[in-house]
A and B are shown apart, each in its own frame.
Chain A
Amino acid sequence: MSRIVVTAFGKDRTGIVASISKALAETEANIEDMTSSKLGDNFVILTVCELSNAKKFAAVKKAVTLAGKKVGVNVVVQREEIFKGMHRI
C-alpha cells in the first residue's frame, strides 16, 4: 500500500473540495483523512489518500493537478514518507 498527501491551496471559491475529491475518486485514490481551512484569503485542503497501486502515483498527480487548475488552486502531491521523515522520530 502507498499513501500520498495532497495539499491544495488558493483563493476560496465554490467547488474546490468537490473538484479535488472527484479527481481522487476517478483515479481510485481512497481519501482516508481530509481537513480544510481558511488561511487569510486562501483556502487550504490537506488530504491523506491511499493508492490502490503505488504505480498510480503519476496518474493521480496529473488528474488532481488538472482538477486544481480548473478551480484556480495549486496542488502539491507528495508521497507520505516525506512527512513521516520530517516529523516522526
Chain B
Amino acid sequence: MRFATEEILETFKMLNVEHLEIRAVTLGISLLNCIGGGSRETAAMIKKKINNVAGDLVKTVTSVSDEYGVRITNSRISVTPASLLLARYPNVESAIEIGHALDEATQEIGVDFVGGFTALVERGITKSDAALMNAIPKVLSETSRVCSSVNVASTRAGINVDAINIMAKKIKETAAMTKNKNGIGCANLVVFCNAPSDNPFMAGAFHGVEQGEASITVGISGPSAIRAAIENCSGNVEELGGCIKQAAFKMTRVGELIGKETAKRLGARFGTVDLSIAPTTAKGDSIVDVIEAMGVQKCGSPGTTAAMGLMIDNIKKGGMMACTQVGGLSGVFIPVSEDSGMNARIAEGAINMEKLEALTSICSVGLDMVCLPGDTDESIIAGLIADEAAIGVANDKTTAARLIPVPGKKAGQTVNFGGLYGSGTIVDVSRWKASKFLSRGGQISGTIKSAKN
C-alpha cells in the first residue's frame, strides 16, 4: 500500500469525524488600478475588476473542495484599503459610493463578505482616511457584506489616540444605526493594532498594497481536531505540546495544499496560510472544549492563559514546519458570540472582561465579538481599544477590538444575532472612565521595540 491503512483512516477521521476544515479561502485583489477621475467611475471599475478576477472563485473553491474531500466553509475576497482609492475625492459621499460598489460586486459573484473598507491611521489621518472613517456607520448600516477595519496603532508608530477616540464614536454610531438588528453593524468593524495585510479572516481582512495583483490566503480551522489530539495524550505538558504540534502540522499541510491548488486554478499568487484555530457556534467546535480537555476545569479559571499559550505556541511550531508561507493572524481566536462555549462561560461568570483582556495578550486577535451594554460610554469603548492597542504595541503582536454596544441591552442579558455571528451574553464593563486621559489626544510613541533597526 502506498499509504498505511492507519494513515488513510486518520485522514478520514480528521476530515469527517473531527471536522477539520478550511475555514476561509480568501482572494485578495488589488484595486489600485481602479482609481478613476471621479468616485462614480471608480465604483464602476471596482465592480468590473472584482467580477473579472473573482468571478470564478466560488466555482473553483467548490471543485477543489470536492476533489480533495476537504470542507471549505467560506470563500471571501479582500481588497486594497479603500481609503487609498479615495485620495482624489476625499469626501464621505464618495466613500459611501465605494462601499456600495464593494457590496454589490461581492453579491454578484456569490460571496458573503468583502474585507477592505479600511484605513491605516496608526501614525496620522489623511483626508481620505477621515472620509472613510466617517462613512463607516452609514456603509455598515446599508450593506451586509462589507467589512471594515481601521488600524490605529503599531509597534513602530505607537498609538494614535485621536484615531481611537474617533473609532469609539463610530462604533457607537454604527450600533445606533443598526439598532433594529441589535447593533449588528459593529460585527463587521474591527479596530486594529499591528493589522496584518494578508489576513484571510473577516471582518479584519484587507489586501495590502505589497501583496501583488491577486493572492490567495487560507485560514485553517478545526478546534475539534486539536481537542482529539489532546484527548489522546495523557503525558506531561511537553508531550501534550508535541501532540498539538503533530495535529497542527497535518492541518496546515491541508491548508497549504488547498491554497496552492486554488491559487493555481485562479491564476493568482499563493499568499500565506493563517494558522489560526477558529471556533464556530457548532457544538463541539469551541475553543473552550480544547482548553478544558487540557485539564482546566472551566475555561477562564486560573491556568487558562498558560494552557492557551501552550496550545498557540505548538500550533505555530507545527504549522511553521508544514508550510512555506505562514502569515495572517496565526494563533487562536477567542470570539465570544461566535463560540457557544465562550459565551456559556461568560454567562456563568467563569470568564469576565478582565480575563478576556488577559487572554488577548497571547491569543491571535483581541476582544472579539464582545457584546457590551448599550449605554456603554464612548470613552469606555475608547479605553478598551487603547488597552488592546497597548498590549499589541508592547508585545509586538496583532490585537484588536470588535465591540458591539447592543442598543437597549444591559449586562447579563443575551442577544441573538443569528447565523455565523451567534448569540452573546452582554459582558459587564467598568463604569469608571479614562476620558480625561484619552481626551488629551495625540500620539503615544512606539516602545523601545520600535527602534530595532
**Contact status B7-A76, CB under 8 Å:** no
**Contact status B68-A82, CB under 8 Å:** yes
Please indicate the chain B residues that have their CB under 8 angstroms from the CB of A58 in the complex.
Answer: 66
Known A-B contacts A57-B67, A76-B69; A82 and B2 likewise in contact (beta carbons under 8 Å): no
B250 to chain A, nearest CB (A): 4
Please indicate the chain B residues that have their CB under 8 angstroms from the CB of A80 in the complex.
Answer: 2
- Contacting B at CB under 8 A, from A22-59, are 32-33, 35, 37, 44, 46, 48, 57-58
**Contact status B1-A78, CB under 8 Å:** no
**Contact status B8-A5, CB under 8 Å:** yes
Please indicate the chain A residues that have their CB under 8 angstroms from the CB of B316 in the complex.
Answer: none
**Contact status B9-A44, CB under 8 Å:** yes
Please indicate the chain B residues that have their CB under 8 angstroms from the CB of A82 in the complex.
Answer: 11, 68-70, 254, 257
Known A-B contacts A7-B8, A79-B67; A87 and B3 likewise in contact (beta carbons under 8 Å): yes
Interface SS of chain B = helix
Q: Give the interface residue-count category, chain A.
A: 20 to 34
Please indicate the chain B residues that have their CB under 8 angstroms from the CB of A5 in the complex.
Answer: 3, 8
Does A1 interact with chain B (Cβ within 8 Å)? no
Interface flags for B63-75 (1: CB within 8 Å of A; 0: not) read 0001111100000
Please indicate the chain B residues that have their CB under 8 angstroms from the CB of A77 in the complex.
Answer: 69
Query: Of A46, A57, A61, A86, which contacts B5 at CB under 8 A?
Result: A46
Known A-B contacts A81-B257, A87-B11; A37 and B5 likewise in contact (beta carbons under 8 Å): yes
A-B contact count (CB 8 A): 61
- Contacting A at CB under 8 A, from B24-42, are none
Alpha-carbon gap, A8 to B16, bound state (A)? 13
Alpha-carbon gap, A65 to B201, bound state (A)? 34
Q: Give the interface residue-count category, chain B.
A: 20 to 34
**Contact status B5-A83, CB under 8 Å:** no
Please indicate the chain B residues that have their CB under 8 angstroms from the CB of A79 in the complex.
Answer: 67-68
Please indicate the chain A residues that have their CB under 8 angstroms from the CB of B67 in the complex.
Answer: 57, 78-79
Does B89 interact with chain A (Cβ within 8 Å)? no
Does A15 interact with chain B (Cβ within 8 Å)? no
Please indicate the chain B residues that have their CB under 8 angstroms from the CB of A48 in the complex.
Answer: 1-3
**Contact status B11-A86, CB under 8 Å:** yes
Please indicate the chain A residues that have their CB under 8 angstroms from the CB of B5 in the complex.
Answer: 35, 37, 46
Alpha-carbon gap, A61 to B66, bound state (A)? 10
Smallest Cβ-Cβ distance to A9: which chain B residue:
B12
Alpha-carbon gap, A37 to B4, bound state (A)? 13
**Contact status A85-B7, CB under 8 Å:** no
Does B253 interact with chain A (Cβ within 8 Å)? yes
**Contact status A46-B1, CB under 8 Å:** yes
**Contact status A32-B257, CB under 8 Å:** no
Alpha-carbon gap, A32 to B1, bound state (A)? 9
Please indicate the chain A residues that have their CB under 8 angstroms from the CB of B129 in the complex.
Answer: none
Known A-B contacts A33-B2, A48-B3, A78-B68; A7 and B12 likewise in contact (beta carbons under 8 Å): yes
**Contact status A85-B254, CB under 8 Å:** yes
**Contact status B7-A83, CB under 8 Å:** yes
Alpha-carbon gap, A81 to B3, bound state (A)? 11
Alpha-carbon gap, A57 to B69, bound state (A)? 12
Alpha-carbon gap, A46 to B8, bound state (A)? 8
Please indicate the chain B residues that have their CB under 8 angstroms from the CB of A7 in the complex.
Answer: 8, 12
Query: Of B7, B16, B70, which contacts A87 at CB under 8 A?
Result: B7
Smallest Cβ-Cβ distance to B261: which chain A residue:
A81
B43 to chain A, nearest CB (A): 38
Does B289 interact with chain A (Cβ within 8 Å)? no
Does B378 interact with chain A (Cβ within 8 Å)? no
Alpha-carbon gap, A86 to B9, bound state (A)? 12
- Contacting A at CB under 8 A, from B225-253, are 250, 253
Smallest Cβ-Cβ distance to A81: which chain B residue:
B257
Alpha-carbon gap, A86 to B254, bound state (A)? 7
Interface flags for A56-82 (1: CB within 8 Å of B; 0: not) read 011001000000000000001111111
Please indicate the chain A residues that have their CB under 8 angstroms from the CB of B8 in the complex.
Answer: 5, 7, 46, 83
Please indicate the chain B residues that have their CB under 8 angstroms from the CB of A81 in the complex.
Answer: 68, 257
Alpha-carbon gap, A33 to B73, bound state (A)? 32
B68 to chain A, nearest CB (A): 5
Known A-B contacts A44-B9, A76-B16, A83-B8; A32 and B68 likewise in contact (beta carbons under 8 Å): no
A12 to chain B, nearest CB (A): 16
Smallest Cβ-Cβ distance to B16: which chain A residue:
A76
Please indicate the chain B residues that have their CB under 8 angstroms from the CB of A57 in the complex.
Answer: 67
**Contact status A86-B1, CB under 8 Å:** no
Known A33-B2, A79-B67; further 10 A-B contacts with Cβ < 8 A: A7-B12, A46-B1, A46-B3, A46-B5, A46-B8, A78-B67, A81-B68, A82-B257, A86-B14, A87-B3
- Show 28 residue pairs from A and B whose CB-CB distance is below 8 angstroms, ordered by the A residue: A5-B8, A7-B8, A7-B12, A32-B2, A33-B1, A37-B5, A46-B3, A46-B5, A46-B8, A48-B3, A57-B67, A58-B66, A61-B66, A76-B12, A82-B69, A82-B70, A82-B254, A83-B3, A83-B7, A85-B253, A85-B256, A86-B7, A86-B10, A86-B253, A86-B254, A87-B3, A87-B10, A87-B250
For the complex of A and B, the 10 pairs showing the least CB-CB separation, nearest first, are A78-B69, A85-B253, A86-B250, A87-B7, A85-B257, A82-B68, A46-B8, A83-B3, A33-B1, A79-B67
